Each structure stands twice: as C-alpha cells, then as structure tokens.
C-alpha cells in the first residue's frame, strides 16, 4: 500500500490478509489462491503488508477491551491515513470486526467477505467460473459463525459453490443453526474446557455423515478446526477441507 501511496495511485480495493492468512501455513494457501483470483479478474488491489496488525477480534472476545481498542485505533489510523474506502478479507473474524466494531471508533469502510466479493465479480462478469474439476462432486459447506449468524450471510459462499456445479449437500445443522467449529471467541488460542468431546470433532462427524469429497469452508480458523477434525476421524485420505476461494482457483488449475 505504501508503494501505491508513493506513486499517488489508489487501489480499487484493499485486501486485508489477516493474521492467519499472513502467518499460518495452511491459511497462506487460501491467501495465495484468493490473490490468483484477484489477478485473474484484473483487480487493482493492495495489501498493507507489514503495516497490517491484528484487528483485535480475539482480544475483544477474550474480554480484553483495552487491547482490542488499541489494535483497532492503530489500524484505523493506518487505514484512514491511506484513505481506504473499500476492503475485502478472507477471514470472517476480521470482516465482522471491521464491519461492526470499527465504525464506532472512527473507521468507516465498505467491507466485504471474500465470498461476497467473488460473487460480485462474477455478477459483474469480471470473473468467470463454470464447472471445472469439482463438477458433480459431493461437497458440504460449513458456515462460519462470524459470516453466517453474526452477519446474516449464508448465500454468497453457496452461490459460488453452485457456480462450480458441485453437488451441494447440507449438514443437519446449517445456515442459522450451523454448529460452530469450536475456534471462535478466542478458543482457537487455548485448550478447551473439560468435556466429553472436542467441538471440531462433533462438527466434523456431522460433516462426514453427508459423505462429502470436500468440506468447504470460508474461514481460516474453521479450516484448521475441520482439518484437525478430519484427521482425528482418520478420514484425511478421502475427504479434503478447502476454502471456497481455493476451490475456485483449483477448479481451473490457476
């Protein structure tokens, strides 16, 4: 982004990569797949790079409002400094925080989840996807809490999957009643409380009941949780966990 600014240019959209997308080896693949799609659609985009910092979501959900607002205001300073208007992110947690909690602190942006953004690109005809290698494959979609229930977006990822002409099978608990993967509320960063089962295993069992080839996700944390769940059920040879953006990119071997 700094380079854009130096050249006096403004990108069409800022890609907010997020911590997982920047550092986590699995999530980096989602980042790269999404970037391939942005390039394919000739989107003029920028990233903040080393000037991006955690949105503060895990801090806030863990109860540390002070740390959250420190992070939020520092990020807002950077974003406003670059006069950012439109942001896209592949992480529903970043999406939710920037969309709902930044405006009250002076950060007003048009923010889209990457599934919403890709959907709009297809509607505008800037990105074309038809069938490809997932055509007819049995696929189930796991709703991220912070995209679905938290922000009411259930259709964008499903419409993208329809475009890939997959056979979409829903789990018993889906959309507004979808079961959490177990990572939200900063659970990702701690051990679960004692119980009889891990949440991601419960959710993975439900996904496996639909006998899918692929469990589609739209959140890097859900992705990790479901991947671990599939491993715990020793199903990694027959079932893959993929982000919707990865599927679109893979469909055409980008």
Q: How big is the site for another protein, counted in residues (CB under 8 A)?
A: 69
Binding-residue pattern over the window 36 to 75 for another protein, x denoting contact by CB under 8 A:
-----------x-xx-xxx-x-xxxxxxxxxx-xxx-xx-
- Least Cβ distance, residue 128 to another protein (angstroms): 26
Judged by beta carbon, residue 47 or residue 156, the one nearer another protein is 47
- Exposure letters 92-126 (e unless 16+ CB within 10 A, then b): bbbbbbbbebbeeeebebebbbbbbbbbebbeeee
- Least Cβ distance, residue 26 to another protein (angstroms): 12
- Asked whether position 120 contacts another protein by CB under 8 A, the answer is no
- Least Cβ distance, residue 8 to another protein (angstroms): 22
Binding-residue pattern over the window 205 to 244 for another protein, x denoting contact by CB under 8 A:
----------------------------------------
If one counts every other C-beta atom within 10 angstroms of the C-beta of residue 31, the result is 24
Q: Kindly indicate which of the ranges 79-87, 131-139, 191-199, 226-234 contains the residues binding another protein, using the contact rule CB under 8 A.
A: 191-199
What SS3 string covers 110-175?
A: EEEEHHHHHHHHHHCCCCCCCCCCCCCCEEEECCCCCCCCCCCCCHHHHHHHHHCCCEECCCCCCH
Which residue pairs from 41-45 have beta carbons closer than 8 angstroms and sit at least 24 positions apart in sequence? 41/121, 41/126, 41/127, 42/126, 43/12, 43/13, 43/121, 43/126, 44/11, 44/12, 44/13, 45/11, 45/12, 45/13, 45/14, 45/15, 45/88
- Least Cβ distance, residue 101 to another protein (angstroms): 6
Q: Kindly indicate which of the ranges 82-90, 111-119, 197-205, 237-245 contains the residues binding another protein, using the contact rule CB under 8 A.
A: 197-205
- Asked whether position 185 contacts another protein by CB under 8 A, the answer is yes
- Least Cβ distance, residue 41 to another protein (angstroms): 18
- Euclidean distance between CA atoms 15 and 48, whole angstroms: 8
Q: Which residues bind another protein (CB under 8 A)?
A: 17, 19, 21-24, 28, 31-32, 47, 49-50, 52-54, 56, 58-67, 69-71, 73-74, 77, 96, 99-101, 104-105, 145-146, 149-152, 176-177, 179-180, 182-199, 201-203
């Amino acid at each position: 982004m700094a380079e854009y600014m130096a050249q006096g240019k403004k990108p069409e959209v800022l890609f907010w990569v997020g911590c997982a997308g920047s550092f986590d080896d699995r999530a980096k693949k989602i980042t790269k797949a999404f970037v391939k799609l942005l390039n394919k659609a000739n989107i003029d985009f920028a990233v903040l790079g080393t000037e991006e910092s955690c949105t503060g979501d895990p801090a806030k959900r863990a109860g540390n409002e002070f740390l959250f607002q420190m992070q939020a205001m520092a990020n807002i300073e950077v974003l406003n400094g670059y006069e950012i208007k439109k942001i896209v992110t592949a992480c529903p947690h970043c999406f939710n925080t920037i969309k709902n909690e930044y405006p009250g602190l002076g950060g007003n942006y048009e923010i889209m989840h990457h599934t919403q953004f890709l959907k709009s690109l297809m509607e505008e005809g800037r990105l074309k996807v038809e069938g490809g290698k997932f055509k007819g494959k049995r696929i189930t979609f796991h709703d991220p809490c912070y995209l679905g229930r938290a922000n009411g977006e259930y259709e964008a990822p499903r419409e993208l999957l329809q475009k890939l002409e997959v056979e979409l099978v829903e789990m018993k608990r889906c959309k507004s009643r979808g079961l959490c993967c177990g990572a939200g509320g900063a659970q990702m960063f701690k051990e679960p409380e004692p119980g009889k089962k891990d949440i991601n295993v419960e959710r993975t069992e439900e996904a496996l009941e639909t006998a899918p080839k692929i469990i589609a996700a739209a959140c890097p944390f859900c992705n990790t949780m479901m991947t671990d769940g599939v491993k715990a059920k020793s199903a990694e040879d027959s079932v893959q966990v993929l982000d919707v953006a990865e599927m679109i990119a893979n469909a055409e071997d980008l």
